[in-house]
Structure 1
Amino acid sequence: MTRDILGLGQVRIHAGSVSRIEAMKEAAEILEAAGAVTASYFDAMQQREATISTYMGNELAIPHGLNETKGTILDSALSFVRYDGGVDWDGNPVTFVVGIAGKGGEHIQLLSHIALLFSDEDDVEKLRAAQSPEELYELLLAMY
């Protein structure tokens, strides 16, 4: 993972829990603040979620837009938020919400890298144990 796709300001840790919609909204807002998406990307995420859940298993959800809404993507970027209180993702427990904006065909590569990272239980445990956004960010850069 490169620093141009994920900056420290795009990594957050929250002690509590939020709803699925609130988690998706935060993911979209982080991507928008990074200059990667337009303000309508949240709507694109909601359209995707209405079509097929972005819950991936292993406490991970990866909200992103539909191919038809790729005009809302300005650049490739990630947002990474850990909710220690969890998120109810349509009945599935989620701790990690990774928002993805992929310019061109890059979203497939980003999705596969994140899925691979979360397939390793030891890596997931390290991400869960990080004490600060800075520590979480450095772990992500090292693992990716």
Structure 2
Amino acid sequence: MEKTIFNKENIQLNVSIGTKEEAIRLTGGILVKEGYVDPNYIEKMLERERLTSTYMGNFVAIPHGTEDSKPFVKESGISFVQVPQGVDFGAGNMVKLLIGIAGKDNEHLDILSKIAIVCSEEENIDKLVTAQSAEEILAIFEEVN
């Protein structure tokens, strides 16, 4: 049976995180735990962040691996971490929503476009930051098809 790309096991709510690195490790750790990627993928996510920030604006960061991280991706998956108090991503950028992505082949492009649509609406960001359950998070993303 093929895994779903995004399910409630991939979501952590109301997390308190001290640093950008911890945030990325947690986001990647979910992808590892749920079997989407090898542990080495987390190092590639950190490397990507050093090359260029994955902060996207609107309190959202989308940590993902570098171009050469593809061998560490087993299946496409998304992890989601809600940090209501925010975590500093540098240059005054506060992140309250981390969306980790692992894409097999070119599937990550479809995943990214869906996330971009959801996160372009400020109303959706507010809902995601204040959501109290994984089901609420999934419902917001399922509205975009």
Q: Give me the whole-angstrom Cα distance separating, in 2, the residues matched to 1:136 and 1:127.
A: 6
Q: Is 1:123 equivalent to 2:121 in the alignment?
A: no
- Please show how residues 15-26 of structure 1 align to structure 2 within 5 Å: 15-26=15-26
SS at structure 1 position matched to 2:142: helix
SS at structure 1 position matched to 2:4: coil
Q: Is 1:141 equivalent to 2:103 in the alignment?
A: no
**2:66 aligns to what?**
66
Q: Is 1:55 equivalent to 2:50 in the alignment?
A: no
Which amino acid in 1 is paired with 2:131?
Answer: A
Alpha-carbon spacing, 1:142–1:18, altered in 2? closer, same or farther (3 Å): farther
Q: Give me the whole-angstrom Cα distance separating, in 1, the residues matched to 2:110 and 2:140.
A: 19
1:43-66, Cα deviation, whole Å (9 max, x unpaired): 000111111110000000000001
SS at structure 1 position matched to 2:143: helix
TM-score of the aligned structures, taking structure 1 as reference length: 0.91
Moved more, 59-68 or 7-16: 7-16
Shift of 1:18: 2.7
Q: Give me the whole-angstrom Cα distance separating, in 1, the residues matched to 2:62 and 2:77.
A: 13
Structure (1 or 2) with the greater strand fraction: 1
Shift of 1:12: 1.1
Shift of 1:132: 2.3
Count of residues in Structure 1 that have an aligned counterpart in Structure 2: 142
TM-score of the aligned structures, taking structure 2 as reference length: 0.90
SS at structure 2 position matched to 1:36: coil
Q: Report % sequence identity.
A: 37
- Please show how residues 73-88 of structure 1 align to structure 2 within 5 Å: 73-88=73-88
Alpha-carbon spacing, 1:38–1:93, altered in 2? closer, same or farther (3 Å): same
Q: Is 1:12 equivalent to 2:12 in the alignment?
A: yes
1:55-93, Cα deviation, whole Å (9 max, x unpaired): 000000000001112111110000011101101011311
Moved more, 60-69 or 106-115: 106-115
Which amino acid in 2 is paired with 1:21?
Answer: E
Give ranges in structure 1 of 5+ residues lacking alignment: none
1:67-122, Cα deviation, whole Å (9 max, x unpaired): 11211111000001110110101131110000000000111221121112110111
